[in-house]
Amino acid sequence: MMDSMPSPPSPSPLPHVLVVEDESRIAELIRMNLEAKEFRVSLAGDGRSALALQRESPPDLVVLDLMLPDMDGFEVLQTLRLRQESLPVLILTARTSDEDRLQGLTLGADDYLGKPFSILELIARIQAILRRSQPARELPGRILCSGPFRINLVQLTVHRGRVDLQLTLREFRILEALVAHPGRAHSRRELIQMAWNVDARPLPRTVNVHIGTLRRKLGDSEARPFIQTLEREGYRWLLPVRRSKY
């Protein structure tokens, strides 16, 4: 009797990108180029449609215009964050002032690209964000233990004792950067590059806001500080760190 041939592995599902853009020409351009790179693409021309599509078929990433006919894009971003906190969002907009960029990144956007834009750059940024949002490979040292904290680099979780601290992805990436090199000063520019990979000039207030929120969630205090602010240098992690497989 002949052995049966093993079944071929099932193909991985195509990454799903939701494009929220009211200009149909731009939306179709993005769709055509992403599908050529083997992405599955959904289009929404306004905020309410985008939120409905996100609920029906959660995407792996959202490309979000801010100037929508029915809702402000920042409102859409906030709602997406409430529903799916770790959902990567790339803002693609003609609103390119420092104030708009600051607000978008502070609300949790992973990247911010101004119009007019290069479609090749947009695709490269989408691919980079998706790579960063995937769990880290299971390698020795995938758990960082520091004081009362256990930082899981695979599951992207942080526990203080038995309490899950519920960090956002941006907060996690900042904490990971600090804890991976305890005692070393990290500039705001460096933290922006590691947490957002934004290629523009750094927005120090964005990092300050996230550090403040991170300190609150960690229980950082003057009596027992975990993150130290260094004037003109940035921030550093104060506790010793060890790596563990489990």
The predicted-structure confidence for 106-138, as pLDDT tens digits, reads as follows 888 888 999 999 999 999 999 888 877 765 444
According to the model, what pLDDT value does residue 113 have?
92
pTM exceeds 0.75: no
- Domain residues of the chain, as ranges? 16-133, 143-244
Looking at this protein, which amino acid is placed at residue 215?
A: R
Distance separating alpha carbons of residues 233 and 54, to the nearest angstrom:
40
* pLDDT tens digits along 41-95: 999 999 999 999 999 988 999 999 999 999 999 999 999 988 887 789 999 999 9
State the Cα angle at 80 between 79 and 82, rounded to 5°. Answer: 65
* CATH fold for the domain made of 143-244: Arc Repressor Mutant, subunit A (1.10.10)
According to the model, what pLDDT value does residue 7 have?
43
pLDDT band with cut points at 50, 70 and 90 for residue 10:
very low
- Alpha carbon of 186 to those of 68, 91, 207, 217, 221: distances in Å? 37, 26, 11, 20, 20
**CATH class of the region 16-133:** alpha beta
Burial of 46 (0-12, 13-18, 19+ CB in 10 A): middle
* pLDDT tens digits along 147-197: 999 999 878 889 999 899 988 888 898 999 899 888 889 888 888 877 775
Residue among 95, 44, 53 nearest 74 (CA) = 95
- Alpha carbon of 181 to those of 34, 155, 175, 237: distances in Å? 37, 20, 10, 8
